[in-house]
Structure 1
């Protein structure tokens, strides 16, 4: 199931890259629907380092003008997006408090999330690291969080998050050597990077630092509990 979806993404991405129709990222803006407040899981340090190394390779092929989202300090797997982009989030924010209360409730039924990193794929806007659930931890967490959020889950109420992934490179302009990018990703479609254990889930906001997107953690919850 997951392999079929990642294959379809690669076909779409290859066509977009080769025709110059890439989806170009721009820095986030107040009220925008990209780089929104989200709940994410970071890989363990060893896996984050491996992902960072692959990201550096991908940047060498794609070009240094793009965004290396998969660096060790920013690689992540998104569980759910929550609201439009906010430039400032005050201490004691009521929505943040509700998001975290729901997350603490959901975390009690999930336990640690494990994913198998099964290879790379290409989309019209990025180079992506594919992840396949090992066990049902992430599905339990996803469903429990949706239930606990209630009306606060409005942003993705009609969105089916049916793949899990970590983006390595976001494109910011048409690629200088599109065929090289297609070939590089194609040769790594089944690149096995092992299994990752995510033991915390975080509420984050995204900020542009002038050269790439970085994450700021607002709060976090442990996934160490085993139901």
Structure 2
């Protein structure tokens, strides 16, 4: 995809300039700029800029909408960005859209934390593979926040998170790592990390012991 017609002097397009301006407004929490620029970019949400670095206009609009308190609009824009990036198979932008969706769901739709965790797991795996350390750090901070929220929910034994209990359920169902990944829409690498964390917390060395633990602690729905 490409921007609108290029600027006559600098070769930069209006959509590119506005997108970059919006990209800086959200971290600075500049709501005035976010509001004005979002209005001007609203008809360009399906574009992607590639002048210096590929980015979806919709993702920046999603960040601005979240800043302005419009969480439903933000979610729609971020989903649009994820769809656009997925169509062109641009992994960094896919992962960033997933991370921002996860952040939004945790902040404003806490009943959808499971969905947020799925987005986060996928994004973190990609950030790790692409060595995107700042984004990986951001994903780690969100994971800590989810863990804190989970700790305020009815406690699971041995500090298991809700996601780990879900993985444990699937282990008890006899699922392989690949099957668990398919069921939860995460990568096998992420499943391996969850399984390792589970085994460490419950003191298990294999799947049979983990299954026995799950039944003994009434963790099977």
TM-score, structure 1 as length reference: 0.26
- Whichever structure has more strand as a proportion of its residues is 1
TM-score, structure 2 as length reference: 0.26
Q: Which has the larger radius of gyration?
A: 2
